[in-house]
Structure 1
């Protein structure tokens, strides 16, 4: 196959490209130039050195490499979504939208126009083929694929690095052209392979920044574009405890950086609600039964599936955010891309605007956006 490998300049995407080359594919490397930190946001935005590293790895692998400028599209499809979400008082996820709208959206359109068959990324996820009975075939290359099979995304083999959550809003047609060459590897195995191949990025630290922007804190990013709007910090009874800098700078479940000292040793305040109409940030002492912090019910909207539609009531596992276990839940479609979700056990800090990834065991079914949370 002729595969376009998205190379960020990190070790994961470097090894992904190398695995494809070893498998005999015609591989071309590409760096998505989405951001150059022209607003001088506080933080490290290493796009120039990332390009140098990605190009160096491509040269080591003997594959063509180029930079594709997608800055305009990124601002329209990801940055705009991010800023509008925070301004509306919800918590968006730019990394999830970057995958759907940019890597497997805009970049795929460019790749298809240039004769590529697929796009590969360095995500810790696996793609296999499943027949309608949900019995999995052997591998991504499709050798055992039948007319009744469909591509499915499975959690990465490394439970500490699994990144399927960030792929939850991918569409079926995007799953078909996606390759995840490192999903079968554990992170230490990937580092060893990078060293074995002598890749320049073998010892490079992993990036923890916003998707394809770099080591920029979300608060610094937001304050560059959204003006502060101070207001009262109140407790559950409405008593004023302090002043916040702007509701968009806080998220439900947040413990640190609230700006209100804890009343007693070993007690901590936590954000439990935001009230945009009164510009109030609501906090409470975190306990096992803190009001507004724990919930079992939610309404989802913008349901997106990686395969067949989720149009029937069923039991599944729902992961409310990255680095959070997926909880068992009843899923009840409401129509119009909406559904009710009822967890078997209470969940901490379910947050409107966040992405909820939906699974059947290891299989990623799709995802949705939390619309509202039910407390009872």
Structure 2
């Protein structure tokens, strides 16, 4: 339980269904390094506790701070130092929520871990489980579960995946849950309302370099460090285009001379759009795709599924060809692989 309305209603529904449940807050981050930003973990714990009191269930706080630093924060910072664009939320779900925390639950005699994700899980005829998008497409969070495996999915429960968000808030209000009107949280998974740039500034030293125009190599400015930027970024570059109705966009990060490459945001901007990409570290929650197939991919959270040709290359890597060019694909980000609403797995952009 995060202290938000989604996990609160998840607990409510499980209680109504007759399950024997315990509410648990994963204490992963307390902003002990004084990173700029609001990290409301104390309020979240009190809100989660209040919901459990209302439901008449036990509440526990599980300290996973060391595991979170080792498995998520280290991954995040190492990725940015190497010029990648990591996804800490996906890694948090795989390594912490359905990793370390799932193991803690099993060690303490629990059968499953339920969360407030907008996703659905269905049992198949062969006893395996399928991961399905949430019914409310505006709130679907299946993308953040892309790297779960079948064993993790078997122990997962998503009680609210079939409920539209307005109905969920109504259920919370009718049950008198203290979180019924609480705003949804934004920010890094369990780090709180901390801007990524402020977080990186605390841990990754600045390494200034030139901002070059990709079309002709002309220097148009300076940047404080490549880790502050990602492919496709328009805001915060800090360089005016000096051209009417044109704006610069990041199209590349070059490690050998520490150069940030920009171009005017247009279909012909070099490196901005890609028709194919390679992915590595493939993880499946279903049977691995081992032959060339026409599937669908979600290139980032909130983007629609798009048609792809999936071409396995062995060694947990694959070539992915897009039917339509895709904008701003950055190394380190995650591609979710779908068969319709069913999420099969995913991989990391090379």
The question of a shared fold, defined as TM-score above 0.5 by the shorter chain, is answered with yes
Q: Which residue among 92, 110, 130 is the counterpart of 1:116?
A: 110
Instruction: Say if 2:187 is the partner of 1:193.
Output: no
Instruction: Say if 2:315 is the partner of 1:321.
Output: no
The count of aligned residue pairs is: 349
Please name the residue that 2:155 is paired with.
177
In structure 2, distance between residues paired with 1:74 and 1:320: 26
Q: CA RMSD in A?
A: 0.7
Per the alignment, in what secondary structure is the counterpart of residue 128 of structure 2?
Answer: strand
1:276 Cα deviation after fit: 1.0
Q: Which digits, 9 at most, give the CA deviation of each residue in 1:176-232, with x for residues without a partner?
A: 000000000111111111111111000000001110110000000011000111100
1:66 Cα deviation after fit: 0.6
Please name the residue that 1:212 is paired with.
190
Per the alignment, in what secondary structure is the counterpart of residue 124 of structure 2?
Answer: strand
1:130 Cα deviation after fit: 2.5
In structure 1, distance between residues paired with 2:224 and 2:237: 10
Per the alignment, in what secondary structure is the counterpart of residue 274 of structure 2?
Answer: strand
1:289 Cα deviation after fit: 2.1
Q: Which residue among 66, 72, 97 is the counterpart of 2:66?
A: 72
Per the alignment, in what secondary structure is the counterpart of residue 60 of structure 1?
Answer: helix
1:268 Cα deviation after fit: 0.9
Instruction: Say if 2:143 is the partner of 1:165.
Output: yes
Q: Which residue among 36, 48, 55 is the counterpart of 1:54?
A: 48
Q: Which digits, 9 at most, give the CA deviation of each residue in 1:285-339, with x for residues without a partner?
A: 0112222100111111000001211222111111111111121100011111000
In structure 2, distance between residues paired with 1:51 and 1:13: 12
Per the alignment, in what secondary structure is the counterpart of residue 223 of structure 1?
Answer: helix
In structure 2, distance between residues paired with 1:190 and 1:263: 48
1:262 Cα deviation after fit: 2.4
Q: Which residue among 263, 272, 290 is the counterpart of 1:293?
A: 272
In structure 2, distance between residues paired with 1:177 and 1:52: 27
* Comparing 284-293 and 153-162, the one that deviates more: 284-293
Per the alignment, in what secondary structure is the counterpart of residue 60 of structure 2?
Answer: strand
In structure 2, distance between residues paired with 1:317 and 1:181: 26
User: Contact 2:254 / 2:260 at 8 angstroms: preserved in 1?
Assistant: yes
In structure 1, distance between residues paired with 2:54 and 2:290: 48
Unaligned runs of 5+ in 1: 1-6, 132-147, 372-376
In structure 1, distance between residues paired with 2:221 and 2:74: 31
Please name the residue that 1:362 is paired with.
341
Please name the residue that 2:11 is paired with.
17
Instruction: Say if 2:37 is the partner of 1:43.
Output: yes
Instruction: Say if 2:227 is the partner of 1:241.
Output: no
Q: Which residue among 224, 230, 236 is the counterpart of 2:208?
A: 230
TM-score by length of 2: 0.99
Unaligned runs of 5+ in 2: none
Per the alignment, in what secondary structure is the counterpart of residue 26 of structure 1?
Answer: coil
